[in-house]
Amino acid sequence: MADTVQQIKDRLSIVDVVSQYVKLQRAGASLRARCPFHAERTPSFHVSPERGTYHCFGCNVGGDIFSFVEAIEGLDFKGALKVLAEKAGVELVYERGGKEKKDERERLFELLETATIFYTSRLNDAAKKYLKGRGMTDATIQSFRLGLAGDSWSELSDYLKMKSAGGGSSSGGKYTEREMLEAGVAKKNERGSLTDNFRYRIIFPIADSAGRVVGFSGRIFGEAASPDAPKYLNSPETPLFHKSRVLYGFDRAKVAIRKLNCAVLVEGQMDLLASHQAGWANTVAVSGTAFTPEHAALIRRMTDNLVLALDADEAGIKAAGRAARTALQGGLNVKVARLPTGLDPADLIQSAGGGSSSGGKEGADAWKKAIRDSKDIILFLLEVLEEHLPQKDRFRRAVETIVLPFLSDVQSPIAREQHVHEIARRLGVSESAVGEALGKLPTSPGPASAVAPASVPKVDPKTSWRSTRASSRARQAFSILLWQQSLEKPSIDVAAYATELETAIGPEAFASLSTLTESEREALRFSAEKLHGKSTNPERETKALLVVILKELLAAELDDATMALKKAENGKDEEEVTRLMGVCKLLTTRIAQLHENV
């Protein structure tokens, strides 16, 4: 595993990886961008090509290419390893022989992969005929690994009981009932026996960002299926599957989303398959839940633009409204694709033969037109309301109650002002009146940060302002040492500077700074690079900083000695008075000498 990690680092630079998600700009020795982990207007996210690391001064996150992919893709380390190995063209080779026991998550991933293979092997002619009748081609069926859960109560469970994780290696062992329950593929019946979660259903595997199966969605299929069964059934929440964080097809769509700078959101698996088949590989779908802030954050890491293409029925329109508000609050620019009444995306594409295996492009063209003609959510709402409410009073009231709440969710002040202008024009009122009405609405929550804010260090109330400031200066000086030590060609004499710094702040303080964690050290390196990276005379700057530190420490000592001297004088301790007067004189002389040397 260590060799694989090093191979990936040798082939991929931090710039190669990060630039696929954010736009980097040169800033001295480093590069910077707006942080992808929290909302900000001024770039505070820095990348060091030389050290292969990143750090954000806004939310205080940092690390290397692996921690970056973990955070931005929502993966664990092994998921990030898989993503980066594919980017680097490095083959992942897992050791056999049981040197490392597989962790629980890895066994669950392997169980779900085994279940996927099982379901795909059971896809029969009747199921294929149904799928092709819905416009799916053989290539799509195979690519998305569609499968079938039959009528047996425990066919999959019985199969998994006989299988071993990792193909029978000693690091695996047969899958247990507990693992099947945790993976969400089985449940206990009233008698305590294990039964499959999915029966009489066409199976759609759901993957995480790395392409690893984390759950399933099953569409009812078969004449013997219960008429009371739900049309779609999804895996329950598991350690791997969190429906509020996973978008169906995201693992396949993320490259196209970045390339096209836009994501298309549809409501169901069939809609997604039809859209991908019609050429829109940037399409994703929700899986058994409403569109969530976590979904919005996931998309925003790839693009700021989202097109909603949900069903045109009443339920779909309401879902589009909820999704739009969530997306707007998440900082996305939202458009709506207007579909013909009664048609969902899959029906639209199939209606003219666009998704059929026989070809034909009318349906695909109709879908393409719907996406390309999509309108900003505010304009879309205004047009729909004007069509259905030609009476001015009713239209005005609808705008106030329906449109303005959406407008309050728009994060861009410029976009909001443009919308205010358009609403005022359509209503025939002043922009100030629209602004006043908007101001009376409850404040909408801003975009949720994907990373918790950095904790603020607590200052001991007994600590004086002088020692706090001196400590801050010492960290600044130490940050320069760390930064220069990391450079192939330092611009100062690192060894001499380290000795001078230890002398200035004292061995105890220097030793304390030397115990900082690597993540803290890297944050200090970025801080020094940011402050001193463009310096034309770093040697002079470091000497000046050491002088300032010495002056502040000596001044603090002089204050303490002066206070002690007054106390000795009040106590008429002549011997102590004499000693302290000598100390004060010596400190005053040293401070004066430092002033002369500046």
**290 in a domain, yes or no?**
yes
Beta bridge partners of 56: 45
Final residue in a domain of this structure, among 170, 205, 234? 234
365 three-class SS: helix
- For residue 476, what are its two tokens? 């600044």
Q: What percent of the chain has pLDDT over 70?
A: 88
Q: Give pLDDT tens digits for 345-394.
A: 888 888 754 444 444 477 888 899 999 999 999 998 898 888 888 888 99
Which range, of 204-213, 328-337, 573-582, averages the lowest pLDDT? Answer: 573-582
pLDDT at residue 102, rounded to an integer: 60
pLDDT at residue 376, rounded to an integer: 93
Which range, of 13-27, 71-85, 87-101, averages the lowest pLDDT? Answer: 87-101
Asked if residue 128 lies in contact with residue 141, where contact means CB atoms within 8 angstroms, the answer is: yes
In the predicted structure, residue 91 carries a pLDDT above the cut 90: no
**458 in a domain, yes or no?**
no
In the predicted structure, residue 97 carries a pLDDT above the cut 60: no
In the predicted structure, residue 222 carries a pLDDT above the cut 60: yes
For residue 32, is it left (φ>0), alpha (ψ between -120 and 50) or beta?
Answer: beta
pLDDT at residue 453, rounded to an integer: 35
CATH of the domain at 37: 3.90.580.10
Residues 292 and 344 in one domain: yes
- For residue 520, what are its two tokens? 């803290």
In the predicted structure, residue 582 carries a pLDDT above the cut 80: yes
Residues 287-294: what's their mean pLDDT? 88
pLDDT at residue 358, rounded to an integer: 40
Q: Return the closest-CA partner of residue 298 out of 260, 237, 253.
A: 253
Write the burial class of residue 432 (CB in 10 Å: 0-12 exposed, 13-18 middle, 19+ buried). Answer: exposed
Alpha-carbon distance of 304 to 510, in angstroms, equals 46
> How many domains are there within the chain?
4
**160 in a domain, yes or no?**
yes
Asked if residue 246 lies in contact with residue 214, where contact means CB atoms within 8 angstroms, the answer is: yes
Residues 259 and 159 in one domain: no
Q: Give the DSSP H/E element, type plus range, for residue 265.
A: strand 263-266
pLDDT at residue 93, rounded to an integer: 67
Rg (C-alpha) for the chain, rounded Å, is: 32
> What is each CA distance from 73 to 83, 112, 245, 301, in whole angstroms?
9, 20, 10, 8
**484 in a domain, yes or no?**
yes
**444 in a domain, yes or no?**
no
**What is the pairing mode between strands 263-266 and 305-308?**
parallel
pLDDT at residue 522, rounded to an integer: 87
CB neighbours of residue 181 within 10 Å: 17
pLDDT at residue 444, rounded to an integer: 57
**195 in a domain, yes or no?**
yes
What is the distance in angstroms between the CA of the first residue and the CA of the last residue of the chain?
A: 54
CB-based burial, 65-99: b 16+ in 10 Å, e otherwise: bbbbbbbbbbbbebbbbbbbbebbebeeeeeeeee
pLDDT at residue 169, rounded to an integer: 43
Q: Give pLDDT tens digits for 477-532.
A: 888 888 888 888 888 888 888 888 888 887 888 888 888 888 888 888 888 888 88
Q: Give pLDDT tens digits for 173-196.
A: 689 999 999 999 999 988 888 999
pLDDT at residue 354, rounded to an integer: 43
Q: Which residue has the higher pLDDT, 32 or 455?
A: 32
Residues 301 and 419 in one domain: yes
Residue 130: domain span: 104-234
CATH of the domain at 153: 3.90.980.10
**Confidence tier at 332 by pLDDT (50, 70, 90):** very high
**Confidence tier at 166 by pLDDT (50, 70, 90):** low
- For residue 397, what are its two tokens? 């009231």
Torsion of CA 264, 269, 274, 279, to 10 degrees: 40
